[in-house]
Amino acid sequence: MNILIKNGRIIDPANSIEEQLDLLVVDGKIAKTGKTGSLSANGAEIVDAAGKLVVPGLIDLHVHLREPGYEYKETIATGTAAAKAGGFTAVCCMPNTNPVNDTRSVTEFILSQAAREASARVYPIGSITKGSKGGELAEIGELRDAGCVGISDDGRPVMNAAVMRRAMEYARIFDIPVVSHCEDADLAGNGVMNEGFTATELGLRGIPNAAEDVMIARDIALAELTGARLHVCHVSTRGAVRMIANAKSRGVRITAETCPHYFSLTDDAVRGYHTMAKMNPPLRSAEDVAAIRQGLRDGTLDAIATDHAPHATDEKSVEFDAAPFGIVGLETSLGLSLQLVRDGVLSVADLVTRMSTAPARIIGSGGGTLSVGAAADITIIDQDFEWTVDASQFRSRSRNTPFDGWKLKGRAVRTIAGGVL
């Protein structure tokens, strides 16, 4: 199917393009761009993007698709449908499935399911260690061959520094990013929210910023030692932003992501014991939120990911301590992130960089651009579209969001993945 996107404003940071252009898609690829009205349709389906932004398809570096193993929370079909609804044409899925994605067979299963059912591209992240148990390395070469674009023991950080060192060294063979959920398990203990005054009032066990910071410090040191590519997951603390900025200035090969909830909410959202505000890392203080926004502005934080973590309603309808960590994010990420543009934190081009161009570069997947010849992964955004989040209408199988009922401005109105409307 050929598509002619007319009258839109094209934002393509990879090519430094920000202008009113038409764009023609032929056979799943971007065939050409030209001045408004200059391209002929020749039977292509016409999409009128007047007043809208036409950007390279958004890429989410951090989602949990839950398949195989936890299909009651999410499947590859429902998770990628949510992605598409949220403007994402590609997602990276974390390996904490059951079984863990630590072998070629699991990666191949995920990719074959994706080929059958997915509405967006699926890039698996393989595990660092077998079973994500923090011991022996997984067969990283096999995982890479099978299609994994990075390795991570997300949610079960590698506590043994020597194991992490070897993983980073070994990953250099393939030059894939080592994706680190930075959390010192001992310091985090059995904490359930940010350590601070709110936790003190609620009587909930705290997770200090230091639980994240010491692990980032360690991983930066190991990245320097090994020369590996380190990608830091879901940054939530001001200390982490500071250390990452410092490491970058010294030339360490490090990239980092944060998530919309870390620049939209503070730990005050937990008051009332709202399990929808329970995630790991936890929502932090206002000072941390300010630092995260500044880190996005100055580029210390390369990417906005979601850490989309679906959980069933019953699992969240329990005592706060007993609820699982995590929220869904694919269908609210863009609306929340566009607020950064209105707040003057990011330009539109910077936002597209954080949500598409940089993620594509980090995983080396291609995409993230509207260059002629590139795959036609395109998101059309209406910046002015006002809408109210209604979790009951999510394409995701789960509804665990703290943003239900929020009024947001701006959303994806068309998501074209691989030239498919």
* Of residues 78-137, those binding other proteins (CB under 8 A): none
DSSP 257-292: EE-HHHHH--GGGGTTT-GGG--SSPP--HHHHHHH
Of 143-151, 200-208, 219-227, 324-332, the window that binds other proteins (rule: CB under 8 A) is 200-208
Beta pairing class for 378-388 and 407-416: antiparallel
The answer to whether residue 322 forms part of the interface with other proteins (CB under 8 A) is: yes
Closer Cβ to other proteins, 273 or 385, answer by number? 273
Among 88, 109, 170, 320, binds other proteins (CB under 8 A): 320
Helical segments of 147-195, H only: 161-171, 185-188
Least gap, CB of 238 to other proteins (angstroms): 16
Dist CA 190 CA 288 (whole Å): 22
- Token digits for 80? 């990628």
Evaluate whether 307 touches 179 at the Cβ level (below 8 Å): no
Per the CB < 8 A criterion, the answer to whether 379 and 57 are in contact is: yes
Determine which residue in the list 201, 250, 344, 373 makes contact with other proteins, applying CB under 8 A. Answer: 201
The reply to whether 321 sits near other proteins by the rule CB under 8 A is yes
> Is there binding between residue 387 and other proteins (CB under 8 A)?
no
| Contacts (Cβ under 8 Å, ≥6 apart) of 168 | 178, 222, 223, 225, 226, 228, 230
**Look-up: residue for tokens 């936002």?**
351
Q: Does 402 bind other proteins (CB under 8 A)?
A: no
The contacts of residue 289 (CB under 8 Å, 6+ apart) are: 262, 263, 264, 265, 266
At a CB cut-off of 8 Å and minimum separation 6, what does 315 contact? Answer: 323, 324
Can residue 287 be called a binding residue for other proteins (CB under 8 A)?
no
CA 285/CA 307 separation, integer angstroms: 19
Closer Cβ to other proteins, 324 or 366, answer by number: 324
Binding of residue 318 to other proteins (CB under 8 A) = yes
- Residue pair 416/3 in contact by the 8 Å Cβ criterion: yes
Exactly one of 12, 60, 195, 307 binds other proteins (CB under 8 A); which one? 195
Smallest gap from Cβ 262 to other proteins, in A, equals 19
Residue 112 burial by Cβ neighbours in a 10 Å radius (0-12, 13-18, 19+) = exposed
* 285 vs 300, beta carbon nearer other proteins: 285
Residue 50 engages other proteins in binding (rule: CB under 8 A): no
Report the residue number, 321 or 384, with the smaller CB distance to other proteins: 321
Question: Considering only 135-143, 246-254, 310-318, 348-356, which stretch makes contact with other proteins by CB under 8 A?
Answer: 310-318
Task: Find the part of the chain contacting other proteins (CB under 8 A) among 69-77, 104-112, 315-323, 373-381.
Answer: 315-323
Asked if 129 and 163 count as a contact pair (C-beta separation under 8 A), the reply is yes
- Asked if 46 is part of the footprint of other proteins (rule: CB under 8 A), the reply reads no
- Residue written as token pair 């949220």: 86
Based on CB atoms, which residue is closest to other proteins, 131 or 324?
324
- Select 115 or 185, whichever has its Cβ closest to other proteins: 185
Active-site residue among 307, 350, 377, 382? 307
Q: Which is nearer to other proteins, 267 or 331 (CB)?
A: 267
CB of 318 to other proteins, least distance (A): 6
Q: What is the DSSP letter of 204?
A: P
- Which CB atom, from 13 or from 196, has the smaller least distance to other proteins? 196
CB of 204 to other proteins, least distance (A): 5
Smallest separation (angstroms) from other proteins to the CB of 325:
15
CB of 190 to other proteins, least distance (A): 10
Interaction of residue 272 with other proteins, rule CB under 8 A: yes
The set of residues, in sequence order, having a beta carbon less than 8 Å from that of 199 and lying 6+ positions away, is: 193, 205, 206, 267, 270
Greatest Cα pair distance in the chain = 66
Tell the smallest beta-carbon distance from residue 244 to other proteins (Å): 25
Q: Residue 68, preceding bond cis, omega within 30 degrees?
A: yes
Least distance in angstroms from the C-beta of 72 to other proteins: 16
| Selected range binding other proteins among 23-31, 54-62, 199-207, 300-308, rule: CB under 8 A | 199-207
Q: Is 307 a catalytic residue?
A: yes
What is the contact surface with other proteins in residues (CB under 8 A)? 195-197, 199-206, 272-273, 314, 317-322
Active site residues: 307
